[in-house]
Amino acid sequence: MNNKAVLAYSGGLDTTYCAIYLRKIKGLEVHALTVNTGGFSEEEIRQIGQRAKQLGVSSFTSVDVTREYYESCIRYLIFGNVLKNATYPLSVSAERMVQAIAVAKHVQQTGASYVAHGSTGAGNDQVRFDMVFQSMLPGVEILTPIRDLRLSREQEIEFLKENGVDMNFTKAQYSINKGLWGTSVGGKETLHSKDYLPEEAWPTPVTETVPRNLELEFVKGELSAINGQSFSHPVEAIQRLQAIAQPYGLGRDIHVGDTVIGIKGRVGFEAAAPLIIIKAHHLLEKHTLTKWQLFWKDQLSKWDGNWLHEGQMLDPTMRNIEKFLEDTQATVSGKVFVTLQPYRFTLTGIESKHDLMSSKFGSYGEMNKGWSGEDVKGFAKIFGNQTAIYHKVNEPGS
């Protein structure tokens, strides 16, 4: 055992408390790590690092895992059209898993005997971080001062003031967590079941009012171009689409769901690019996949998304399902046409060489080219035979 502790550090109140507490009270050598999943600018990272050093940490490191976040997680959320409770694109839950894995890798590199995070005892993140650390860091002690000491915000502030920490302790009216796959928004309205978030709560104001047409091109299920502009990596396409669409006020909603610890919770989010991509991708799939491909994708992706949300990203079953999802994308290539308007978007159609709605085989409700009327009569008789037998056998009085 050594006295090194890696702290998952965001620069907020909880992790600031942890940095001081672990160093002064526990006597540990604190190494702060900030994991960027697409939510921090270079200037924000610089400021976070500056604050960490002012707290007396032994080292500060930041790692940008935005592309790894996409490759290991987001691409499968797209392949599976994952929206938890048909609403939420897993903006935060997916992000936390990737952050926890990055922290665990840093612990392995530094050889630290301790790993710490600032989760409270009331939410999902504590489970997500703990489960990753337990799997990847056997023998490393997990420290969670905020949870273990059951601290209130006021107690944390008092402790920091006593230890000479000079920071703005005024609680923001709304808590914002930004990442590549969306931004979560929490406030007094999300603490109960009735009210919706007001306009001023949303991080991105609505500034676009003129309708705009977009052409999204997918290659094997991944967004590769927007209006003819190709991108070297899907992360760049997502960021570009977000910049175009979010000023229309798109992708805003409040998710109501079951937490890992068994209570209901509400969280607001704005996720224009994720919502548009998932809906556009799903429409393209409905044209290019068979009925049973779509059916089994729905079953497995719903389970996959829920398991990810509950902190089980390292379960080997996830790798099995990811292989299935990736295999289904072989023909999911083509263009999807989208019209953006304030607070709503419309998917107007698709073009794909893999489109199974081909006029070569008939037009629905009008004309067929691959069978005769007699073929259909025979098919309907055989296809419905068991049901007909059931009703004959079970007729009253039979």
Buried b (16+ CB within 10 A) or exposed e, 378-398: eeeeeeeeeeeeeeeeeeeee
Nearest to 45 by CA among 92, 95, 8, 11: 11
The domain made up of 176-351 is a member of CATH 3.40.50.720: no
Contacts of residue 341, defined as CB under 8 A and 6 or more positions apart, other chains included, come to 211, 248
What's at 92, amino acid-wise? V
Domain extent listing, the chain:
4-162, 176-351, 359-393
Would you tell me which CATH number, out of the four given (3.30.460.10, 3.10.580.10, 3.20.20.70, 3.40.50.620), belongs to the domain 4-162? 3.40.50.620
Nearest to 159 by CA among 12, 29, 13, 9: 13
> What is the CB neighbour count within 10 angstroms for residue 65?
20
Tens-digit pLDDT string for the chain (398 aa): 899 999 999 999 999 999 999 999 999 999 999 999 999 999 999 999 999 999 999 999 999 999 999 999 999 999 999 999 999 999 988 899 999 999 999 999 999 999 999 998 878 899 999 999 999 999 999 999 999 999 988 999 999 999 999 777 777 788 888 999 999 999 999 999 999 999 999 999 999 999 999 999 999 999 999 999 999 999 999 999 999 999 999 999 999 988 888 888 899 999 999 999 999 999 999 999 999 999 999 999 999 999 999 999 999 999 999 999 999 999 999 999 999 999 999 999 999 999 999 766 656 556 677 788 899 899 999 999 999 998 989 988 76
CA–CA distance, 283 with 299 (Å, rounded to integer): 17
Task: Show the CA angle centred on residue 353, arms to residues 347 and 354, nearest 5°.
Answer: 80
| Ramachandran angles phi, psi of 291, nearest 5° | -55, -45
Indicate whether this model's pTM tops 0.85.
yes
CA–CA distance, 305 with 80 (Å, rounded to integer): 8
Q: What share of the chain is helix, strand, coil (3-state, %, to 5)?
A: 45, 20, 30
Same CATH topology for 4-162 and 176-351: the answer is: no
Q: Note the Cα 248 to chain centre separation in Å.
A: 21
